[in-house]
Amino acid sequence: MVKLFPKLTEMAMVVVILIATMAFQAAVNPPGGVWQDDSPSHKAGRAVMATDSPELYISFIIATNTAFISSMITIVLISTGAPHVDFVFLSITTYSMWVSIASIGVSYGISLLMTNPMETKSVFEIAMIVVGVFVGIYILLLIYFPIRTIVLGGLKQAETQIQSLLDGLAGQPDCPSKRAIVSLCVTIQRWIGVLTTGY
């Protein structure tokens, strides 16, 4: 993961900046808008959701603030370059990014709950859906990486065998069958390179 992180840095930075922007926008313009006038029950500029559904609004603010703060932590850590050097910082950065993604998902769910008539859905159910999706993705990743390692190991071994075959053919006289075998081996090597490195 430490080796792959520099390649993922730009993409991670785009993702967390987008999440920070979404969280900031949600905080200053909450679902349902803000009151436009003063009255005994509310003040102008305050969130309508805070007056109508204070418990949901508290959950919304907690999720939004968590998404914003964890995004800021990720941005600061990536900007300093610490994750490239230290595994602890890499772990914190990755964890912060996952927390920000999960939090913005919860924030979205609460926004949906407030702006749509879904009385059957609770904050807990929305959170469980988000957690379920993330656990499913995490399980897929746990399955994917070991399989990928095994497959890449097999491809590297095949590339070594093809290279030794090419080295053995180099000493033989030139003929159409040799050219065909060399051409096939080079093509296979090229495809193995694409599969293992992406280039």
Write the pLDDT tens digit of every residue in 81-125. 766 667 777 778 888 888 998 888 888 878 877 777 655 566 677
Write the pLDDT tens digit of every residue in 154-193. 777 777 777 777 777 676 776 677 667 767 777 777 776 6
Q: Is the pLDDT of residue 71 over 70?
A: yes
Quote the CA–CA distance of 123 and 130 in Å, as a whole number. Answer: 11
| CB-neighbour burial class of residue 126 (10 A; exposed 0-12, middle 13-18, buried 19+) | buried
Cβ atoms of residues 46 and 34 within 8 Å: yes
Q: Tell me the pTM.
A: 0.62
